[in-house]
Structure 1
Amino acid sequence: MVEKMLQFVRLQQQTPEKREAAARRLDFNEIYAAFDPTKAKDQASRCSQCGVPFCQVHCPLNNNIPDWLKLTAEGRLEEAYEVASSTNTFPEVCGRVCPQDRLCEGNCVIEKGFNSVTIGSVEKYIVDTAWENGWVKPPTPRKELGISVGIIGAGPAGLAAAERLRVRGYEVHVYDRYDRVGGLLVYGIPNFKLEKEVVLRRWKQFEAGGIHFHMNVDIGRDITLTALREKHAALFIATGVYKARDIALPGNDLPGVVKALDYLTTSNRQGLGDSVPAYEDGSLNARGKHVVVIGGGDTAMDCVRTAVRQGAASVSCLYRRDKANMPGSMREVYNAEEEGVRFVWLAAPQAFEGTDHVTGVRAVRMHLGLPDATGRQQVEEIEGSSFVQQADMVIKALGFDPEDLPAMFDEPALTVTRWGTLKVDYRTQMTALPGVFAGGDIVRGASLVVWGIRDGRDAADQIHQYIGAQQALGTAAE
């Protein structure tokens, strides 16, 4: 047993063993090995147990990180899991895909000079150990309330709300247009960051707890929102954002110029064993091709690293700003560089070249100018600096916008913001329709998994309060 914490003065930061780049380029397995138990305890003991835990403050879920680090250091893993899961519906997912370098670890008080505690790796170790030992239980209530709640969307926000409502005793029905639970956790994030069994086992567990899943259901086509409102005491909309942003450039419609989500979904479906014609005919398969990815976020990093594993002849990433100004995780950029991705900084696309198929990206060099109103440096073209980057496949990873939900759901009373996201009362998360709540990316815009979980948990609490208030009004009316 560890006698005391604050071991950062004695122990250096150490992550789980990372597979060599040459080996991990050949498969889609997660790149980190399981954390050795002794090393995991040692790393947890580096926590300074500071009076104001900035790791917790900067976590969207306000996870009790110092507490479960101390319990891990003491070898009390089941208790550590109980603490971790009390604030987080999917700690095993967050331990893998959260950008800890921008959140908890990036704000660790020992970061300057001693390097942060490896919070994400320890979190993953705790929960993987919990699964191995059968400590993770289905969400079963103490008593049934006999009240039904509907959830539209089986991504992080929807699932987090479903779990929390089920534990309270509600009959929960989750509707999703896809054939598997998980949303972008399954179809957007590649296996080398999040192996699909990690998500699919939660699906099985939630079903065992009594949550009802209705897959391949398209709201507005297969069932109306009005019908769902009549069926359930409340609804929670957590559809995410799936409309790819685009750029109007010459050659945009050339074969070989594809959208990031189409590309990633095809790769993930193929990895799941589905028959995917677009992969088999090569149109969404990077094998043997010179690939150029446009964008600088985490989706762009997923694309470049997927292309490497598919056997691309070369992989380049064009981004109009420099490395320091990339919106994606620096950890992901470093992993991509290790795996052979070439980054072309300060370069913006002007056109896609080719006749019957894309052959290259014509781009222009940029330089950083004065900061704009947000404080971010503006980018300006360098005159006469155009060049052509060879490409057989161009993947546009420019972010995502919301779909037109009022039109899709045939419900014009659903109001939206000027960005197309659903408009809600931020105190209650209720939309303009009474009893219809919303959260996650469809309210925030494209964001992090951890924020989706936060919104889902908060929405479940608001729905519980709303139903309680409605019941009280009904009782008073009698």
Structure 2
Amino acid sequence: MGKPTGFMEIKREKGKERDPLKRLGDWKEYAAPLSDEALSRQGARCMDCGTPFCHMGMDINAFTSGCPIYNLIPEWNDLVYKGRWKEALERLMKTNNFPEFTGRVCPAPCEGSCTLAISDPAVSIKNIERAIIDKGFENGWITPRIPEKRTGKKIAVIGSGPAGLASADQLNQAGHSVTVYERADRAGGLLTYGIPNMKLDKEVVERRVRLLTQEGIDFITNTEVGKDITAEELKEQYDAVILCTGAQKQRDLVLEGREAKGVHFAMDYLTTSTKSLLDSNFKDGQFIDAEGKDVIVIGGGDTGADCVATALRQKCRSVVQFGKHPQLPAERTADNMWPEYPHVFNLEYAYEEAQAKFGDDPREYSIQTKKIVADEQGNLKELHTVQMEKVKGENGQYIFTEIPGTEKVWPAQLVFIAIGFEGPEHPVLSAFGVETKNRRVDAAYGNYKTNVEGVFAAGDARRGQSLIVWAIHEGREVAKQVDSHLMGATVLP
């Protein structure tokens, strides 16, 4: 512990962000690092509490509390406070394969369960984590780790998202030969095409993929299992296969007018936007363009927020985001006690930008879309909605009821559906013959084995839609199981 009274003397400093209006003119990351001096002060706020709940990593009431990869947070906070950055990096890398990803896009459940957060603002864990890994790359401390010996065992990883990359990284370090298959034209999965550039610059992803390649991992892109290569071929060529295909089947709206031209899935919008940006800086026209249009996003989560931010950069005429739940409170309520994840109101980057551009927060709460209306040519024209009231029923469960007289018509030429994901897409699973349960791969947490010998599953494909830190956790854990399966024991941490 660096400064015993640091948490009493030093206030939390918010991470720096570029001016909202200025950053709307480009696709660069909106967040900017704090100075080393400021980060040292923030590290000093860590309390060295007897039981550091920040890295407990568990679900409470269906939400994650603490860090699922069990980052040694108090240790590297103290090292940053003391200016021992390289040692902080060493401690960080013991548990996290990709801090440059989590330090940018993780919702930081570690901060929600920080002991200091019982009565004060939490330690700035996420900002410190990002600063450590960025400094590691800037100073050349991150170099290829080439395994000294190879085991002769070959492993195929299907999917190059965070779970696939983490499992590949771990197994490669154990000396196995790993090949990662990705159906898209670039590796990274959700990290590349599901998260906009302004949250996670794609050079950050590409830098990590280049490093993994230098360390001996093979990446085969533009290859879809079941189409370009069969499951049988993979099982014949490799000693083990890990399915890390993610939960990419998007949940749809069953609604009158859904077929109108101009209604799209959110991920289709985000994917085509990022691909066109990377391929041609939007010169190819191969994207859904919101310029000059009234945009409505249905769904109140992070994916919906990313759609808002993307539409703003495309110079939409207006943008609104619909959410079915009421606005969150400013502070924790009695049924959302620490160390649960804090369900409190905040102004995410996209909403801050919309407020700066149009003068209002773009979110509409407790609202339900009743129907979608198209014009005579089938083009989207408007949405009809009604306000909802969330009430507790006789059985204690909350239900939503319509409020009479609150009907409203919204002009719209683009609608993006961002109401979550049902689970993995099934063609790949069917190709391998793996069984599913609740629309996910049926592989028990802890051993990750499917019903097919030598075929494992991890990440969102097994768990369902979740956080990047859970994907990394499962990638690391399935790697241990595969290593043990092939070698009789595991050498992996």
TM-score in same-fold range (> 0.5): yes
Map 1:22-421 to 2 at 5 A: 22-57=21-56, 58-100=66-108, 103-274=109-280, 280=285, 284-324=288-328, 333-340=347-354, 341-355=361-375, 356=377, 357-370=379-392, 377-405=398-426, 407-408=427-428, 410-411=430-431, 413-417=433-437, 419-421=438-440
8 Å contact kept, 1:296–1:328:
no
Structure 1 residue 385 displacement after superposition: 2.3
**Partner residue in 2 for 1:475:** none
> In structure 2, do the counterparts of structure 1 residues 320 and 331 end up closer, same or farther at CA, with 3 Å as the change threshold?
closer
Question: Following the alignment from structure 2 to structure 1, what is the Cα–Cα distance between the partners of residues 244 and 393?
Answer: 35
Question: Following the alignment from structure 1 to structure 2, what is the Cα–Cα distance between the partners of residues 397 and 10?
Answer: 42
8 Å contact kept, 2:43–2:123:
yes
Note the alpha carbon deviations across 1:453-473, whole angstroms, 9 max, x for none. 0100000000011112399xx
8 Å contact kept, 1:348–1:365:
yes
8 Å contact kept, 1:81–1:130:
yes
Question: Following the alignment from structure 2 to structure 1, what is the Cα–Cα distance between the partners of residues 47 and 317?
Answer: 47
Unaligned runs of 5+ in 1: 472-478
8 Å contact kept, 2:29–2:201:
yes
Question: Following the alignment from structure 1 to structure 2, what is the Cα–Cα distance between the partners of residues 223 and 155?
Answer: 19
Structure 1 residue 89 displacement after superposition: 0.7
TM-score of the aligned structures, taking structure 1 as reference length: 0.92
Q: Report % sequence identity.
A: 37
Question: Following the alignment from structure 2 to structure 1, what is the Cα–Cα distance between the partners of residues 33 and 487?
Answer: 45
8 Å contact kept, 1:372–1:378:
no
Question: Following the alignment from structure 1 to structure 2, what is the Cα–Cα distance between the partners of residues 322 and 454?
Answer: 32
Q: Aligned with 2:320: secondary structure?
A: strand
Q: How many residues align structurally?
A: 463
Q: Aligned with 1:151: secondary structure?
A: strand
Question: Following the alignment from structure 1 to structure 2, what is the Cα–Cα distance between the partners of residues 85 and 382?
Answer: 52
Structure 1 residue 90 displacement after superposition: 0.6
Q: Aligned with 2:308: secondary structure?
A: helix
8 Å contact kept, 2:2–2:44:
no
**Partner residue in 2 for 1:476:** none
Q: Aligned with 1:453: secondary structure?
A: helix
Stretch of structure 1 that moved more, 144-153 or 10-19: 10-19
Question: Following the alignment from structure 1 to structure 2, what is the Cα–Cα distance between the partners of residues 324 and 90?
Answer: 31
Note the alpha carbon deviations across 1:249-276, whole angstroms, 9 max, x for none. 1111111111101100011112213487
Unaligned runs of 5+ in 2: 57-65, 331-340, 355-360
Structure 1 residue 285 displacement after superposition: 1.0
Structure 1 residue 306 displacement after superposition: 1.2
Structure 1 residue 164 displacement after superposition: 0.3
Q: Aligned with 1:164: secondary structure?
A: helix
Question: Following the alignment from structure 2 to structure 1, what is the Cα–Cα distance between the partners of residues 189 and 90?
Answer: 26
Q: Aligned with 2:119: secondary structure?
A: helix
RMSD: 2.3
8 Å contact kept, 2:373–2:382:
yes
Question: Following the alignment from structure 1 to structure 2, what is the Cα–Cα distance between the partners of residues 367 and 210?
Answer: 56
> In structure 2, do the counterparts of structure 1 residues 19 and 197 end up closer, same or farther at CA, with 3 Å as the change threshold?
same
